[in-house]
Amino acid sequence: MGIKINVNTILRYEVPEPLEEGKEYPFEKDGLTLFADDIQTWLTRRDWTALAEIQVTSQQRRDGKTLGTFTVEHVYDDAEQQLLTDVFRRMYGWE
């Protein structure tokens, strides 16, 4: 027996938009995930569209879910978003 925990530096999550720099948002994901909380992390939609650079400010795992909050450090402009989205989709096999 064991426990499966995913370690991530990308939060794929659908958030309300528009995102605001400096604002804190909640998130909830199915499964047990550990997010880096001492470095900036990428925020993407589930389809790998790059949205922002974030800092995870809290996280806890319970009942098979990961709950937490993050602060938006930088929102991508159109050029940054397109470049990073293309990179993520290429790297992670999105079609």
Domains plus CATH for the chain? 6-91 (2.40.240.20)
SS3 76: coil
Helix (H) or strand (E) holding 90: helix 78-91
CB 70 within 8 A of CB 53: no
pLDDT over 80 at 12, yes or no: yes
SS3 3: coil
Task: Decide: residue 59, CB within 10 A, 0-12 exposed, 13-18 middle, 19+ buried.
Answer: middle
Give pLDDT, residue 1. 62
pLDDT-derived band at 95 (thresholds 50, 70, 90) equals: low
pTM value is: 0.88
pLDDT over 80 at 63, yes or no: yes
